[in-house]
Homo-oligomer: A and B are copies of this chain.
Amino acid sequence: MNAAERLGKRADALMNRTRLLQAAQESFAQAGLDLEVNDIISQVQMGVGTFYRHFGSRENLLRAIVAQTLEDAHAQISQAIEPYGDDPRAALQALVTVQLQVYQRYRPLFATMRDRRLTKLFDAAQREALYALVLDPPRRVIEQGMQAEVFRQDLHRDLAAALIIGSFTSVFDLLGDNYPFEELEQQLFQSLWTMLTK
């Protein structure tokens, strides 16, 4: 096997892994933690051997799904708030809107984030790294708002970021069936803005 062939094989392997992980993310969106490895590999028409060569175990696959989904979410949210680095109000508005979209899209993951079947797959340092990824976008909006002296100077950055994250899930879980999406989005922005500014 020459260099070009080796490169081609490596590219194939990477593509297989990506296809498996994408199918797994979709399967997770439907079935959550009850997803079946057999469903995933039959969907992408690969053998069991290929699956285990890439992921080693169902647990490793779940770890990869969670990490990949949180990284995808982080990328989408970062991209949405990036243009508003010097406008804290617009940044918070963009954050609320994109967080809600991301939350709706990845709802099955967020619904099981605290499930012990999931949390036990990660050690303390890994959990810490994933939480930091979740907290990063609201934390950046808060820091920019404080630097611009639009937000209060006495905010506890981490706490305010965690509170913002929690508000998305609880508001939509508890009230999502009773109020139009736009009303909740608007009111949520208003409440957070009040908390952060005066």
Binding site for B on A (CB under 8 A): 32, 34, 108, 110-112, 114-117, 124, 128, 131, 134-135, 152, 155-156, 158-160, 162-163, 165-171, 173-175, 177-179, 184, 187-188, 190-192, 194-195, 198
Contacts and interface: CB of A to CB of B under 8 A. Distances in A.
Contacts of A166: 163, 166-171, 174
A177 B122 CA distance: 15
Contacts of A194: 152, 194-195, 198
Nearest to A114: B111
Chain A residues touching B, majority SS = helix
A117 B156 CA distance: 36
A116 B111 contact: yes
A162 B177 contact: no
15 contacts: A110-B114, A114-B173, A152-B194, A158-B175, A159-B171, A159-B175, A159-B179, A159-B191, A162-B175, A163-B170, A163-B171, A163-B191, A166-B174, A167-B167, A191-B195
A170 to B, nearest CB: 3
Contacts of A155: 191
A165 B160 contact: no
Contact of A171 (B162, B188, B190, B192): B162
A189 to B, nearest CB: 11
A13 to B, nearest CB: 34
Given A166-B167, A179-B158, A174 B115 contact: no
